[in-house]
Amino acid sequence: MSAIEVVPLNWYLLLSTVLFTIGVLGVLFRRNAIIIFMSIEIMLNAVNLLLVAFSSYLSDSKGQVFVFFIMAVAAAEVAVGLAILMMVYRNTKSTDINVLNKLKW
């Protein structure tokens, strides 16, 4: 028995909303750039969960294919982002985003 028959879609909407908001909170709350990356991963996963929920409720596999693409983009983003972060650490000896204020007026 699957969740589709007993759990309304609105609950999945609410769960994804809460997870997305936690991701936004993490981006605003922390100064460590790695934790900000992880919060972005939480937001991407909230959207993935929503796509899978809609795909299952509408019996359409396109939503799940989109989740594959989002996973590929997330993997690319993490690889490049962590490389940039390593370079920032090499130059400033910290992953604090507040040291990156050269473009601030």
From its phi and psi, is residue 100 left (phi > 0), alpha (psi between -120 and 50) or beta?
beta
Q: Exposed, middle or buried by CB within 10 Å (0-12, 13-18, 19+), for 55?
A: middle
Nearer to other proteins, 29 or 104 (CB): 29
Binding mask 58-87 for other proteins (x = CB under 8 A): xxxxx-xx-xxx-xxxxxxxxxx-xxxxxx
Residue 92 interacts with other proteins (CB under 8 A): yes or no: no
Q: CA quadruple 95, 97, 103, 105: dihedral positive or negative? A: negative
Distance CA 95, CA 72 (A): 25
Closest approach of other proteins to the CB of residue 48, in Å = 7
> Is 96 one of the binding residues for other proteins (CB under 8 A)?
yes
Q: Give the three-class secondary structure for 4.
A: helix
Size of the site for other proteins (CB under 8 A): 78
Q: Which is nearer to other proteins, 90 or 102 (CB)?
A: 90
Contact string 25-54 vs other proteins (x = CB under 8 A): xx-xxxxx-xx-xxx-xx--x--xx--xxx
